[in-house]
Amino acid sequence: MQVEVTLRRKKSTLNNISLTVPVAQRAANPIGRLRTLSTRRDRPVSYLVLEAIFDYLRREEAGTTGRAAGG
């Protein structure tokens, strides 16, 4: 499963993000869940993905990933 997320600027410059869902995680249906959540929050899927990326970056940059040591 692969999803293309396109971010557009006013001057027609495109930045693309390609998301590949590993086979082992497909059963969790992340794309379907994102679509459902986007409908509930009245936001496009791309907005939710970008929001998640920024949340991840903030945690990583702060050194608080929540992962177990050595993980």
* Domain residue ranges in the chain: 2-62
pTM higher than 0.85:
no
Per-residue pLDDT of 9-54, as tens digits, reads: 555 555 666 778 899 999 999 989 999 999 999 998 888 988 999 9
pLDDT for residue 45: 87
Q: Which residues of 39-62 are buried (b: 16+ CB within 10 A; e: fewer)?
A: eeeeeeebebbeeeeeeeeeeeee
